[in-house]
Amino acid sequence: MQNCIFSGHCMESRCDKSCPLLVQTTYLLERNDIPLNSSVFKTDPTKVSSICKILDDAKGSFRVVLDNQDTAAKSDIITYCAICQNWKGSQLHCVVYHLKFSQYVEEIQKSWSSRGGESENLEYIKIWTKSAKVLIISGIDFVNFKNFQCQTLLELLQQRNSNPDNTTILVSPPLSSLVGEGAFFSRLQDMMRKAVV
């Protein structure tokens, strides 16, 4: 068990490294690949406030956050803030999940040529992507959006939208810099344009 992000403020009666707060936050941080030496813990407070506001405003909807510098870092910060807002009562459910879309597409494509079908990893990604209360999607900068990639993302977004409790945040570079083609790509861009924060 790693150390606790709240330890400097903690006033629990004892620390046996198994209190719900530590267990739930640790689970969500590990699930989302955020180690304790991550830079998210040093994020500028004004950035934290603005991201918390984006998350508050986005509750139950789909939003696109644009970033022209480092979408991976931005999505990690959003994921951390979402974890802090949602860990309470999560009971070790993956309530916040950061999906790296390029890796997801790669996993799907790998599964086509695999004899055993979908890997366990892919199955879990699909479960968490579907069930997470807050889903953060990044990694679309590295995707060439052809029909399959567009359809996968559109279907995922549609699936998320069918549950009014789901919040979906897509972290994207400026829309003009996305690479893709075809009718589905225009549709995806339209959809994203309408959801830009």
Partner 1 sequence: MSRIYSNQNKIKFTSISERYQVDKACKGKVSELHAALITYVVGHFKNTKKYKQQVVDALNIMTYAVYAGDMLPANWKISSPLDNIPEFDSDLIEDTLGDVLLTVDSIDWDVSPTNNTSEVTTSSNPKPIVANTSSSQQVRRSAPKPAVSSTSVRQTPKQDLYIQSPVVPRFDYSKPWIRGHEGADDLVIYTTLPEIPTKQNEISCTTDVTKMTHLELMNLYPTTLVHTRAPLMYEHIEGLDYEDDIGVLLPIEGYTRDQLVDNIIQYPHFYKLSRMIGDNMYSFYTHIELDGQLCGILDVWDSLSDTRKIPRQKEFIKEYVVRKYLLDLTIKKVEYKYPLYGSLDPFLTLFMPADNYVQRGYSDIEQIAKQCVVSRVKYKQSRNPVIRRLDHAKLYI
Q: Where do contacts with partner 1 occur on this chain (CB under 8 A)?
A: 3, 5-15, 17, 36-38, 41-43, 45, 48, 52, 57-61, 63, 80-81, 84-85, 164
Nearer to partner 1, 53 or 110 (CB): 53
Least spacing, CB of residue 29 vs partner 1, in Å: 12
Angle between helix 120-131 and helix 101-113 axes, rounded to 10 deg = 140
Rounded Cα distance between 46 and 145, Å, is 34
Nearer to partner 1, 36 or 127 (CB): 36
Least spacing, CB of residue 161 vs partner 1, in Å: 13
Nearer to partner 1, 6 or 142 (CB): 6
Least spacing, CB of residue 56 vs partner 1, in Å: 9
For the beta carbon of residue 14, count every other beta carbon within 10 angstroms.
Answer: 6
Nearer to partner 1, 42 or 115 (CB): 42
Rounded Cα distance between 158 and 154, Å, is 6
Least spacing, CB of residue 46 vs partner 1, in Å: 11
Buried b (16+ CB within 10 A) or exposed e, 72-92: ebbbbbbbbbbbbbbbeebee
Instruction: Identify the DSSP state of 196.
Output: B
Rounded Cα distance between 184 and 190, Å, is 10
Nearer to partner 1, 179 or 196 (CB): 196
Least spacing, CB of residue 112 vs partner 1, in Å: 37
